């Protein structure tokens, strides 16, 4: 395997003691992701996909396995400003709840300025970069003076995305980042992320329980079940000819909140024939 990010044998167990083996959240998962590619980590709640995502971004330390960025293995004991800045440029995360991930005391402008001051050597370029970021995520300039509570859910998620891409990361992880939004706003955010990938070359990791979402925006899928990767492959192949019963169950189950039946029918029809991405 090769690519921007390479994951080999990641394993994480919670609650292990001398008397109890604990709960294995992720077991021996491996995958790779190239530049400007998008992968979907799919599974129900408890499948291990969010734990895997947290290990990718450094919020949870694995018990075994390695994570490489452009051939450089992440060292978990690294400290200091230089290491923090490098990790920030390697990978960023956008969470399901943008309100919880934004500082409620800061305006949109100050939230972006805070990130950029830590990463831009040329302070005089900060204003121009803020204008560029808000334009890229489709956020009106009049909202720069707003605080999170004054924004809609979709607007808050656009701010969270702007913060995440401000440092030009190689990989952007989105943990159920559209599941709390209504269907029309969800579609807008997915289109925005697709455009950002095309324009910047960032690689995307979509964490979702909803195959209807990842089917629209990813190149490949990794299906998680009880901590293990039970199926992975090109999105078109997995959705057209699922090989594992769990994948088949996910594809046949009801869509996530906000998805209309005709949208799901359209998704399945797109992969029923000889569709190629």
Q: What is the mean pLDDT of residues 31-38?
A: 96
Tokens of 50: 């969010």
Taking only the tens place, the pLDDT of each residue in 232-274 is 999 999 988 999 999 998 888 745 444 444 544 554 454 444 3
Tokens of 172: 């952007």
Taking only the tens place, the pLDDT of each residue in 105-164 is 999 999 999 999 988 878 789 999 999 999 999 999 999 999 999 999 999 999 999 999
Q: Place 48 in a pLDDT band, splitting at 50, 70 and 90.
A: very high
Residue 98 has pLDDT above 90, yes or no: no
Q: Place 34 in a pLDDT band, splitting at 50, 70 and 90.
A: very high
The structure's pTM equals 0.87
**Cβ-based neighbours of 56, under 8 Å, separated by 6 or more:** 5, 7, 67, 91, 171, 173, 205
At residue 13, the pLDDT reads 97
Is residue 250 a contact partner of residue 42, using CB atoms and an 8 Å limit?
A: yes
**Cβ-based neighbours of 184, under 8 Å, separated by 6 or more:** none
Residue 178 has pLDDT above 70, yes or no: yes
* C-alpha pair distances (Å), 277 with each of 106, 221, 226, 231: 41, 13, 29, 19
CATH topology (fold) of 5-270: Rossmann fold (3.40.50)
Q: Which has more pLDDT, 212 or 205?
A: 205
Q: Which has more pLDDT, 190 or 274?
A: 190
Say which residue the tokens 């909803």 belong to: 210
**Cβ-based neighbours of 27, under 8 Å, separated by 6 or more:** 11, 48, 227, 228
Residue spans of the domains in the chain: they are 5-270
Q: Place 181 in a pLDDT band, splitting at 50, 70 and 90.
A: confident
Q: What is the mean pLDDT of the chain?
A: 88
């Amino acid at each position: 395997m090769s690519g921007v990010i390479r994951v080999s044998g990641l394993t994480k167990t919670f609650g292990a003691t001398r008397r109890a083996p604990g709960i294995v959240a992720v077991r021996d998962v491996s995958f790779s992701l190239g530049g400007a590619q998008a992968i979907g980590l799919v599974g129900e709640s408890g499948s291990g996909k969010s734990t895997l995502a947290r290990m990718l971004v450094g919020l949870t330390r694995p018990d075994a396995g390695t994570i490489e960025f452009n051939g450089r293995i992440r060292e978990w004991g690294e400290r200091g400003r230089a290491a923090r800045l490098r990790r920030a440029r390697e990978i960023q995360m956008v969470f399901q709840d943008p309100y919880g991930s934004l500082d409620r005391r800061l305006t949109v402008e100050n939230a972006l300025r805070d990130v950029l001051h830590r990463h831009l050597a040329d302070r005089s370029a900060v204003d121009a970069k803020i204008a560029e970021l808000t334009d890229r995520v489709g956020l009106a300039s009049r909202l720069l003076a707003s605080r999170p509570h004054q924004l809609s859910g979709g607007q808050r998620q656009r701010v969270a995305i702007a913060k995440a891409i401000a440092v030009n990361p190689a990989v952007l992880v989105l943990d159920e980042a559209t599941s709390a939004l209504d269907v029309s706003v969800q579609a807008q955010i997915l289109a925005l992320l697709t455009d950002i990938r095309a324009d910047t070359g960032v690689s995307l990791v979509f964490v979702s329980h909803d195959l209807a979402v990842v089917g629209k925006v990813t190149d490949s899928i990794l299906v998680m079940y009880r901590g293990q990767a039970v199926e992975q492959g090109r999105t078109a192949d997995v959705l057209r000819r699922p090989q594992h019963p769990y994948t088949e169950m996910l594809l046949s189950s009801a869509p996530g909140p906000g998805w209309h039946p005709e949208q799901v029918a359209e998704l399945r029809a797109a992969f029923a024939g000889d569709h190629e991405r």
